[in-house]
Copies of this chain bind each other. A is one copy, B any other.
Amino acid sequence: MQPEISDHIFYSFLTGGFCASTTTSSFYPFTIEDTIAQDKALASVRNHKEAERRRRERINYHLSKLRYLLSCNSKTDKATLLAKVVQRVKELKQQTLEISNESLPSETDEISVLNFEDCSNDNDDHRIIFKVSFCCEDRPDLLQDLMEILKSLRMETLFADLTTIGDRTRNVLVVAADKGHHGVESVHFLQNALKSLLERSSKSVMMGRSGGGGEMLKRRRALDHIIMV
């Protein structure tokens, strides 16, 4: 425990009281005024001390909450904890941004096929799992064509997320393929099939379209309504 220096102040006040009692000509070393001033000074020091203690408690209280939120050991020092908090906030911000962006179709056509062979669990060791996602112009037969592609490749759809806004669509699928029929190289089959799917789309859109600017504006306005939600 640290010595309280307020005692030192008190003592120096005492010595001062003996030497220079200038306010009155009293015989007593301490006048009432001195006592009052002394009390006030002590009270001031005490208040200051306690306010500072409360401030420290307030700060440490929130730090303990952050320790809990980040499931940090109580032995993690303050600076490291705060560094982790900074990192976590950044991550979470980025994550929400990505989710809201990735879930909407992009303006440009895109195709992505990934295989999860390495990640497949024991239940699925006889199957290969692919994650397929693509953005393109929307058209009535798109979904049907996609289903036929997957059917012809003997792939089962485990998960599908189809997002359409205005004339653009973004489709994400998780599909399973039997290892008897497919290997890792099937990624290319899928990619090529999707490429032809998108080419068919752009052809039909090109022929049927009158102008490009209108759809863009329409989508922009539709977007306003979604973001408002």
> Which residues from chain B contact A225 at a C-beta distance below 8 Å?
116, 119-120, 124, 129, 131, 158-159, 174
Q: What are some 8 contacts across the A-B interface (CB < 8 A)?
A: A59-B79, A62-B85, A63-B82, A89-B92, A120-B225, A124-B225, A160-B163, A162-B162
Give Cα A143–Cα B142 distance, bound, in whole angstroms.
13
- Is A49 interfacial (CB-CB < 8 Å)? no
Other-chain residue from B66, B90, B222 in contact with A159 (beta carbon distance below 8 A)? B222
> Which residues from chain B contact A85 at a C-beta distance below 8 Å?
62, 66, 85, 89
User: What does the 1/0 interface line of A114-137 toward B look like (CB < 8 Å)?
Assistant: 001001110110000101000000
- Is A151 interfacial (CB-CB < 8 Å)? no
- Is A86 interfacial (CB-CB < 8 Å)? yes
The smallest beta-carbon distance between A9 and chain B, in angstroms, is 14
Q: Are B174 and A164 in contact (CB under 8 A)?
A: no
Q: Are A86 and B103 in contact (CB under 8 A)?
A: no
If A159-B226, A160-B162 touch, whether A66 touches B82 (CB-CB below 8 Å) is: yes
- Is A207 interfacial (CB-CB < 8 Å)? no
- Is A179 interfacial (CB-CB < 8 Å)? no
Q: Which residues of chain A from 47 to 90 have any CB-CB distance to chain B below 8 Å in the complex?
A: 55, 58-59, 62-63, 65-66, 69-70, 78-79, 82-83, 85-86, 88-90
Q: Are A62 and B79 in contact (CB under 8 A)?
A: yes
The A interface, classified by DSSP as helix, strand, loop or mixed, is helix
Give Cα A85–Cα B87 distance, bound, in whole angstroms.
12
Q: Are A89 and B116 in contact (CB under 8 A)?
A: no
Q: Are B121 and A224 in contact (CB under 8 A)?
A: yes
> Which residues from chain B contact A163 at a C-beta distance below 8 Å?
159-162
- Is A152 interfacial (CB-CB < 8 Å)? no
Give Cα A224–Cα B119 distance, bound, in whole angstroms.
10
If A99-B99, A158-B222, A225-B159 touch, whether A69 touches B90 (CB-CB below 8 Å) is: yes
The smallest beta-carbon distance between A209 and chain B, in angstroms, is 18
The smallest beta-carbon distance between A165 and chain B, in angstroms, is 5
Given contacts A103-B103, A161-B162, 8 further A-B contacts (CB under 8 A): A66-B82, A85-B89, A92-B93, A95-B96, A116-B229, A121-B224, A161-B163, A162-B162
